[in-house]
Chains A and B, each alone.
Chain A
């Protein structure tokens, strides 16, 4: 155990003695300024939300508690809070069950095709949630959903086996959506487990069940806790599913209510801010405990002495049914909805009797791609913002990570703490915070593409930092030292040594942020105006019209634009945070 601790690369501080005093001081100044600006960037929305929820009108106006009172007093608000609790609990539980099982099956059992199951389990992350929604509407709509049509055919009369509308429906979809995130955290924990712990248990007489219940699962407690808290935050703050199917079924949840209170008539931004405050508080509390669980976890997942990979957990005859189920679940949140949506895109109209050859058409593609006026301007905006947002996030992360790891200091440590904030703030709440501040600045960036860019960077800089920091950690500091001794400055070293070595990690980080920005709705739904529409917002517009085949084409466009760079560059990219 002492060996593994000794061998981990430690952050290495540059001593002033080996550099000209001027260069380092200037550097410290610049990076310090960048750090302070970043800290401000991620914290003012929180302050803003708090302040706005306590102000009668815009920030700076009279102090009032009326919005907080309305938060808990107004019947719609109470209703929404209750619904959000039920929804969050249900979908988190479902996501954990699916994610943990898939992780265990693919990584630790002798199920055939374990690695494929693992890859399939992560596939849903590339699928925009909108496609998940439309796909499952196509599958489980009470009237025209495939399952119900088939059931009716078999039964002879109209049968509604499943109904995607309603609380169970949205819990199901959100559970499927969040499962890959649970999978990621738990899989990392399982892959890093100390083999000798399990071997010692086996030699002490533990059979398979006892081994699983007393050793394997308890040792994963930190990862399980971290995963659980993450999916709770994500489900409580999720916007797309509540704002589409949720509203259609008249189930009001906090995020959709925040949107309505901000946009509809009469607008009640104060109440929206109070609701955002509630979400924000829940999120920050969860993220605090999640970080603690992850840092404590290092004690539980020390690498084994000889690096022997753990013996697979024998499932015996259950291997094949389990594998089949796992594949089904993994596909259920990725390929199956995409196929369903693709089928819908070719339909003239979507109804119970829509599955006929006469119903096939290319009109929808024609309309959306060529006739619909909003499409290409919004696509252009989306692409510009996604590329810029990903690039700025990665560059900023490189600067801050390098600052923290090589120069050190209290400011750098503060940055690390501050950057945890956006992780715990649901996107819609962050949106409220940004809006409440910038609306005060006349002639400022409100209503421009810049405010959207600011929102994207604010929301995604923590993820970029995680990727880039862990990539830096993996670089042995002696590689940098050798470059410095050979005569290159810190900047030259960064350019010639660090960045190329981190290349795959940076590419992976960039692609991830690009994909996420492209399909992000909640961040921008409150901040856009007609001249700055992005693809995802346009999607909400089309949803409003209720014409599913056109919706299908639009969301396929989103999928394709997101997938293009990934397909082109995924070989060079490395997706993984150690």
Chain B
């Protein structure tokens, strides 16, 4: 499969261009890898996907698939979607109700110049690949949501596309089915790696399925990197909050030891690592402190505070502690719930290195 490249994509809506869906967006998508575009509604991730598909025409920029330029605002190049050789899995699956499952899957092959027997052979092979052998004669409304999802994927892959686009494919499923489909998608990709671009607002999906994650905000990329990078070392407050980091503490730079920066915060001096290298003494900064990397004790060294409230979450509990006027969230294993209004001590985990944010 090929890689894709998108540069300088801009798209505005509104009579005076007030709504900036995409703002000079650029990203390279590596071949045979899954790149996830993660962000809240309105951040532009779907606009990027649909621009790559050819369903939206951007105002400016360049889109290259493999070595073919399919869109170039400068030279007015705009290859229509039917000629871009891509596959797409839609949020609503978009299975044609007037055709059988087999006909649905075979459809992309109709324009490929194959013989009738070759087409049915390939469609059958695809059905087997997604685990739906023998269901070719059924209609879409006779299948469950998960099965329709798999037919959709089979159809997207059957024509040997250069890449497969996923538009929030799991949002229509309930939580348990979503989890199962996530693992299935992962196993399918590990069997046969293919280039994919996956759009979602769910951070769990992004972290599980992506080889690379690009967090988007207001038409631009906030941070791009491996799932571990984005999760453990977010760059900005936006990304930190989006991947679920509960505490964003302000602090003062104290010094540096090697690549780590020591920062004073209400919960003590923290070891941090960030992306900037120009920190100076006494600079004000923000540290992203994950609630699981803090501990609660009844006494001892550390920041003392008062328990505000506790929420039981099944495998863990979240406790809100008032430390010097700031509410800190601490996540602990569920044995023994902290009692509100008692005094506790909050300490960072001994080996933890926290993320130092850029903004």
Q: A residues within 8 Å of B by Cβ?
A: 1-3, 194, 196-197, 199-207, 210, 214-215, 218-219, 221, 299-300, 302, 304-306, 311
Q: Is B145 a contact partner of A2 (Cβ separation < 8 A)?
A: yes
| Interface residue from B53, B91, B141 paired with A306 (Cβ < 8 Å) | B91
With both beta carbons as reference points, the residue of chain B lying nearest to A220 in the complex is identified as B98
Q: Is A202 a contact partner of B92 (Cβ separation < 8 A)?
A: no
Q: How far is the CB of A122 from chain B (nearest CB, A)?
A: 28
Q: Is B159 a contact partner of A205 (Cβ separation < 8 A)?
A: yes
Q: Which residues from A are CB-within-8-Å of B258?
A: none
Q: Is A204 a contact partner of B155 (Cβ separation < 8 A)?
A: yes
Knowing A205-B111, A206-B82, the reply to whether A219 touches B98 (Cβ < 8 A) is yes
With both beta carbons as reference points, the residue of chain A lying nearest to B173 in the complex is identified as A2
Q: Is A210 a contact partner of B90 (Cβ separation < 8 A)?
A: no
Instruction: Please indicate which of the listed interface residues A197, A201, A203, A304 has the most CB atoms of chain B within 10 Å of its own CB.
Output: A203
Q: Which residues from A are CB-within-8-Å of B156?
A: 203
Q: How far is the CB of B74 from chain A (nearest CB, A)?
A: 23
CB pairs A–B below 8 angstroms (10 shown): A1-B93, A200-B88, A200-B155, A204-B108, A205-B82, A207-B82, A210-B110, A221-B98, A300-B97, A306-B91
Please name the 3 residue pairs, one residue from A and one from B, whose CB atoms are nearest each other, closest first: A305-B92, A196-B94, A204-B108
List B residues 65-103 near A (Cβ within 8 Å). 80-88, 90-98
Q: How far is the CB of B14 from chain A (nearest CB, A)?
A: 16
Knowing A1-B92, A3-B172, the reply to whether A205 touches B97 (Cβ < 8 A) is no
Knowing A1-B92, A1-B172, A196-B94, the reply to whether A202 touches B55 (Cβ < 8 A) is yes
Given the complex of chains A and B, what is the CA–CA distance between A199 and B89 in angstroms? 10
Q: How far is the CB of A223 from chain B (nearest CB, A)?
A: 13
| Interface residue from B88, B95, B97, B159 paired with A199 (Cβ < 8 Å) | B88
Q: Is A300 a contact partner of B98 (Cβ separation < 8 A)?
A: yes
Knowing A197-B96, A311-B55, the reply to whether A203 touches B86 (Cβ < 8 A) is yes
Q: Which residues from A are CB-within-8-Å of B86?
A: 203
Knowing A199-B55, A205-B159, the reply to whether A304 touches B92 (Cβ < 8 A) is yes
Given the complex of chains A and B, what is the CA–CA distance between A219 and B92 in angstroms? 16
Q: Which residues from B are CB-within-8-Å of A210?
A: 110-111
Q: How far is the CB of B355 from chain A (nearest CB, A)?
A: 34
**B112 proximal to A (CB < 8 A):** yes
Q: Is B111 a contact partner of A219 (Cβ separation < 8 A)?
A: no
Indicate with 1 or 0, residue by residue over B42-55, a CB within 8 angstroms of chain A CB atoms. 00001000000111
Indicate with 1 or 0, residue by residue over B106-130, a CB within 8 angstroms of chain A CB atoms. 0110111000000000000000000
Q: How far is the CB of A309 from chain B (nearest CB, A)?
A: 12
Q: Which residues from B are CB-within-8-Å of A305?
A: 90-92, 172
Given the complex of chains A and B, what is the CA–CA distance between A540 and B46 in angstroms? 62
Given the complex of chains A and B, what is the CA–CA distance between A302 and B90 in angstroms? 14
Q: How far is the CB of A134 from chain B (nearest CB, A)?
A: 44
Q: Which residues from B are CB-within-8-Å of A306?
A: 46, 91
Q: Which residues from A are CB-within-8-Å of B108?
A: 204-205
Q: Is A202 a contact partner of B81 (Cβ separation < 8 A)?
A: yes
Given the complex of chains A and B, what is the CA–CA distance between A300 and B46 in angstroms? 25
Q: Which residues from B are CB-within-8-Å of A196?
A: 90-92, 94
Q: Is A219 a contact partner of B96 (Cβ separation < 8 A)?
A: yes
Q: Which residues from A are CB-within-8-Å of B159?
A: 204-205
Knowing A206-B82, A219-B98, A311-B55, the reply to whether A200 touches B110 (Cβ < 8 A) is no
Instruction: Please indicate which of the listed interface residues B82, B84, B86, B156 has the most CB atoms of chain A within 10 Å of its own CB.
Output: B82
Indicate with 1 or 0, residue by residue over B341-358, a CB within 8 angstroms of chain A CB atoms. 000000000000000000
List B residues 217-233 near A (Cβ within 8 Å). none
| Interface residue from B82, B96, B110 paired with A203 (Cβ < 8 Å) | B82
* Known contacts A200-B155, A207-B82; 14 further A-B pairs (Cβ under 8 A): A2-B145, A196-B92, A197-B94, A197-B96, A199-B53, A200-B90, A200-B96, A202-B81, A203-B86, A204-B82, A205-B83, A205-B111, A205-B112, A300-B98
Knowing A2-B172, A3-B172, A311-B55, the reply to whether A204 touches B94 (Cβ < 8 A) is no
Q: Which residues from B are CB-within-8-Å of A214?
A: 107
With both beta carbons as reference points, the residue of chain A lying nearest to B55 in the complex is identified as A199
List B residues 182-211 near A (Cβ within 8 Å). none
Q: How far is the CB of A61 from chain B (nearest CB, A)?
A: 53
Given the complex of chains A and B, what is the CA–CA distance between A214 and B172 in angstroms? 27
Q: Is B88 a contact partner of A203 (Cβ separation < 8 A)?
A: yes
Q: Which residues from B are CB-within-8-Å of A204?
A: 82, 107-108, 111, 155, 159
Q: Is B81 a contact partner of A218 (Cβ separation < 8 A)?
A: no
With both beta carbons as reference points, the residue of chain B lying nearest to A199 in the complex is identified as B55
Given the complex of chains A and B, what is the CA–CA distance between A69 and B86 in angstroms? 66
Instruction: Please indicate which of the listed interface residues A199, A206, A207 has the most CB atoms of chain B within 10 Å of its own CB.
Output: A199
With both beta carbons as reference points, the residue of chain B lying nearest to A221 in the complex is identified as B98
Given the complex of chains A and B, what is the CA–CA distance between A302 and B92 in angstroms? 10
| Interface residue from A201, A221, A300 paired with B107 (Cβ < 8 Å) | A201
| Interface residue from A2, A206, A218, A311 paired with B111 (Cβ < 8 Å) | A206
Q: Is A299 a contact partner of B97 (Cβ separation < 8 A)?
A: yes
Given the complex of chains A and B, what is the CA–CA distance between A299 and B95 in angstroms? 12
Given the complex of chains A and B, what is the CA–CA distance between A218 and B103 in angstroms? 14
Q: Which residues from A are CB-within-8-Å of B92?
A: 1, 194, 196, 302, 304-305
Q: Which residues from A are CB-within-8-Å of B82?
A: 202-207
Q: How far is the CB of B152 from chain A (nearest CB, A)?
A: 8
Q: Is A203 a contact partner of B91 (Cβ separation < 8 A)?
A: no
Q: Is A215 a contact partner of B81 (Cβ separation < 8 A)?
A: no
Knowing A215-B96, A305-B172, the reply to whether A205 touches B53 (Cβ < 8 A) is no
Knowing A199-B55, A199-B81, A206-B111, the reply to whether A218 touches B145 (Cβ < 8 A) is no
Q: Is A299 a contact partner of B172 (Cβ separation < 8 A)?
A: no
Given the complex of chains A and B, what is the CA–CA distance between A299 and B97 in angstroms? 8
Q: Which residues from A are CB-within-8-Å of B96?
A: 197, 200-201, 215, 219
Q: Is A218 a contact partner of B94 (Cβ separation < 8 A)?
A: no
Given the complex of chains A and B, what is the CA–CA distance between A45 and B54 in angstroms? 58
With both beta carbons as reference points, the residue of chain B lying nearest to A200 in the complex is identified as B94
Q: Which residues from A are CB-within-8-Å of B172?
A: 1-3, 305
Instruction: Please indicate which of the listed interface residues B46, B54, B97, B156 has the most CB atoms of chain A within 10 Å of its own CB.
Output: B97
Q: How far is the CB of B39 from chain A (nearest CB, A)?
A: 15
Q: How far is the CB of A456 from chain B (nearest CB, A)?
A: 40
Q: How far is the CB of B111 from chain A (nearest CB, A)?
A: 4
